[in-house]
Amino acid sequence: MSIRNYQTLSIATTELRKRDYTADFKLEDGKLLHTESGKRYGPKDMDIMEFHRFEGDSDPADNAIVYAVECKDGVKGLIVSAYGPYGSVALNEFMDEVEVHDKTEAAGPIHQ
pTM exceeds cut of 0.75: yes
More confident residue, 110 or 29: 29
> How far, in Å, CA of 86 to CA of 3, rounded?
27
What contacts 89, CB < 8 A, 6 or more positions away? none
pLDDT score of 69 more than 90? yes
Delimit the domains of the chain by residue range. 9-100
* 109: pLDDT strictly greater than 90: no
Q: Round to whole Å and give the CA distance between 3 and 102.
A: 10
Interacting residues of 18 by C-beta distance below 8 A, sequence separation 6+: none
At residue 63, does pLDDT exceed 60? yes
pLDDT band at residue 28 under the 50/70/90 scheme? very high
pLDDT score, position 86: 76
